[in-house]
Amino acid sequence: MAADQSYDDALKKDLGELIAAVDLPELNKHFLRSRWLDQMLWAEGRANSARSRHFALRLIAIVGGVIVPALVSLNVQASVAPVVSWITFTISLMVAISLALESFFRWGERWTHYRRLSEMLKSEGWLFFQLTGPYEQSGTHAKAYPEFAQRVEAIVASDVETFITQVAREKTKPAQGETADSAGAAGKS
C-alpha cells in the first residue's frame, strides 16, 4: 500500500481488480462492485468513524474522571481557588457531556455493529473469490454467483434488522418493580 493511499482506497482498488479478473458476465461484476463492495466499504467507513468517536468520548470521560478528584483534593491558596474551581467545573462538564453523547449515540455499539457487518461481507467475498466453503462444489464463479448474491442479500437484510432492533432503538428503563423482559412483553401487546 502506498503511503498516500488509505486502507479503504487500497482495499477498493485491490478488490476492484479481483472483481475485474473473475470470469463473470459484466452484470454480475457490476453487482459485485455496486452491492457487495460498496456495502462492505460503507460498513468499513462507518465502523472506523464510530470507533474514533467512541474512543474520543471515552478518553475525555476517563481522563477527566481522573483529573477532577485530583483537582478537588488540592489544597490551594485562596487567590488561585476560583481558577481551580472553574477548571474543575469545566472538566466535570466535559466528562458529563461526553458520557451523555456516548449514551445517546452509542458509538461503541455502532462501531462493533458496523465492524461485524464489514467483516461478514469481506469473509463472504473471500469465500466466493476462492470458491471455498459454500461455493466449493460450484466449481466456477458463474455457477457460484447466484448463491453468493443470495447470501450477501441475507447478510444485508439481517444487518438492517439487527440495526433497527438493537442498535438504533432507544434504550428505556423498565418501570420500578418491572423486569426488562416484562416491560418488553407489555409493549408488544
Per-residue pLDDT of the chain (189 residues; tens, 9 = 90+): 556 678 889 999 999 999 999 999 999 999 999 999 999 999 999 999 999 999 999 999 999 999 999 999 998 899 999 999 999 999 999 999 999 999 999 999 999 999 999 999 999 999 999 999 999 999 999 999 999 999 999 999 999 999 888 877 766 555 455 444 444 444 443
In this structure, the chain runs to a length of 189
- Crossing angle, helix 107-130 and helix 38-73, to 10 degrees? 150
Closest CA to 61 of 19, 15, 102, 1: 102
Cell of 71: 483537582
Contact 94, 34 (CB under 8 A): no
Q: Where are the beta strands (DSSP E) in the chain?
A: none
Q: Where are the domains of the chain?
A: 24-170
Contact 153, 46 (CB under 8 A): no
pLDDT at 5: 76
170: alpha, beta or left? (left if phi > 0; alpha if psi -120 to 50): beta
Total-model pTM:
0.80
